Chains A and B, each alone.
Chain A
Amino acid sequence: MSLSLKAPQRPQSDSEKQLEFLRETPGVTPIVHKFMEAGLFPLRSNGISVMQVNMGKVCNLSCKHCHVEAGPERTESMSRKTVSSCLSVLAGTGIPTLDITGGAPELNPNLGWLIEEAVKLGRKVMVRTNLTVLELEEYAQLAELYARNKVEVVASLPYYLGKNTDRQRGDGVFEASIRVLRRMNELGYGREQSGLRINLVYNPGGAFLPPAQHSIETEFRREMTRRYGIVFNKLFTLTNVPIGRFLNFLMQSGNLEDYLVRLAGAFNPAAAELVMCRSQISVGWDGRLYDCDFNQALGLTCTPDVPGYIHNFDLTCLRNRPIMLDNHCYACTAGLGSSCGGAVLEVRCK
């Protein structure tokens, strides 16, 4: 089974072009000015507590908001050698958390090995999954591997209704996600005392900002239990980052200017101070180093002053590096902020 949107896919976009659109949108000041006004420029890393590894751009879905522009037609996938370099860095540096993403990381044949070795090193391991991939026969056993290794699962589920979710991710995606979530619950995920955590990820179904995390979490919890009998630990809300396929949607639907002006208008210095790039390093499928997965999607590697590959990783240089900011960073700094772990602030700053 392969789930894929019927909407025509556009060719991969030129990153420099994408940044130009974001820089040239009328009414949007360069974000660097906002960081300067907030006394946060240059923004520097303040230590590395998370290594995020992007295992590739191959995915069984082709979601409309995907910043990676992942899909079944992509071929970029992390080699065993690069996975091995990631493990050596984890072992050598003591970075406590490994956060695995993609594409669909399950479609990389080295995933199980990476998880088991990282767990042997005593690292906390998180995997970001689109859930549906765990219904495909060849990958179904990975759910048990996650449970055995106490992997924290971070599962995309844009909305608690099928119509909204399928519009964004493709027909049938919601029902498949629900079936897999039921299975995860049966394995103990989301249950008190099992020690197996599953967090759901909400993102807006279009050109608007996410609701306050605590309020939509309450609603998700009620509806997921009432409608489908599913439990989970936390709900993260993400802001759609205006790059990749989402940028394409914004442009084609005539929403780009409004969306960017809205993001920029909601710039919040408190959220800017807590952006996730400050405490993580992001490894690309080919071993290149980035400040985050979004910079990775744009080809914006870490500052040229630091060694740029996982095989010449240098914690001393990297942990104080300046972060490469551009206008897509408005998504991380709007309102309550947005990170891989959801909103970064508890209450909306007025």
Chain B
Amino acid sequence: MSSYYNPADLAKFPTMGEGAPELWEKFMSYYNAVFQEGALGAREKALIALAVAHALQCPYCIEAYTREALEKGSNEEQMTEAVHVAAAIRGGAALVHGVQMKNIAGRLGF
């Protein structure tokens, strides 16, 4: 069975540097800087990344940041709550756009 998503492709991510090495370098140095300990700790950043990965529904990022969150010492309860935060924001964002729907329906109707 073939699929657009293949777990082995995660390890091939660096091949994206082959066509445009300078852009890749710039991206990677930014990426690495983002995940350094800063005002937020590395564990908090991994949980945020995990939540964002779910909001984006990127299977590669979900795999990478599930492992990363565990390796930063998070437990499943904390990781599940992070996913709920993503779900709540996604759900809330859809719902709040309902106001647009109401506005437009109001404008179009009698």
Q: Give residues in A with beta carbon < 8 Å to B.
A: 159, 161, 163-164, 202, 204-206, 208-212, 215-216, 219, 350
8 contacts between A and B (CB under 8 A): A164-B75, A204-B70, A208-B67, A208-B71, A212-B72, A215-B41, A215-B72, A215-B73
In the bound complex, what is the Cα–Cα distance between A21 and B72 (angstroms)?
A: 28
Known: A211-B43, A215-B42, A215-B43. A161 touches B75 (CB 8 A): yes
Q: Verify A216–B75 contact, CB threshold 8 A.
A: no
| Cβ contacts under 8 Å, A159 to chain B | 75
Given A210-B73, A219-B43, 15 new contacts (CB under 8 A)? A159-B75, A164-B75, A164-B76, A204-B70, A206-B70, A209-B71, A211-B43, A211-B71, A215-B41, A215-B42, A215-B43, A215-B72, A215-B73, A216-B73, A350-B32
| Cβ contacts under 8 Å, B32 to chain A | 350
Q: Verify B70–A219 contact, CB threshold 8 A.
A: no
Q: Verify B73–A208 contact, CB threshold 8 A.
A: no
Number of A-B contacts (CB under 8 A): 32
Majority-rule SS of B interface residues: helix
User: What total of chain B residues lie within 8 Å of the partner, measured CB to CB?
Assistant: 12
**Which of A161, A163, A208 touches B70 (beta carbons < 8 Å)?**
A208
In the bound complex, what is the Cα–Cα distance between A164 and B77 (angstroms)?
A: 11
**Which of B72, B76, B77 touches A211 (beta carbons < 8 Å)?**
B72
| Cβ contacts under 8 Å, B71 to chain A | 204, 208-211
User: In this complex, what residue of B is CB-closest to A212?
Assistant: B42
Residue interface bits B27-42, CB-to-A below 8 A is 1, else 0: 0000010000000011
User: In this complex, what residue of B is CB-closest to A262?
Assistant: B67
User: In this complex, what residue of A is CB-closest to B72?
Assistant: A211
User: In this complex, what residue of A is CB-closest to B67?
Assistant: A208
- Sorted nearest first, the 9 A-B pairs with minimum C-beta distance are A211-B73, A216-B73, A208-B70, A211-B72, A209-B71, A208-B71, A208-B67, A161-B75, A211-B71
In the bound complex, what is the Cα–Cα distance between A210 and B72 (angstroms)?
A: 7
| Cβ contacts under 8 Å, A211 to chain B | 43, 71-73
| Cβ contacts under 8 Å, B77 to chain A | 161
Q: How far is the CB of A215 from the nearest CB of chain B, in Å? A: 6
User: In this complex, what residue of A is CB-closest to B77?
Assistant: A161
Interface of chain B residues 17 through 72 with chain A (CB within 8 A) = 32, 41-43, 67, 70-72
Q: How far is the CB of A158 from the nearest CB of chain B, in Å? A: 11
| Cβ contacts under 8 Å, B72 to chain A | 211-212, 215
| Cβ contacts under 8 Å, B73 to chain A | 202, 210-211, 215-216, 219
User: In this complex, what residue of B is CB-closest to A210?
Assistant: B71
| Cβ contacts under 8 Å, B76 to chain A | 163-164
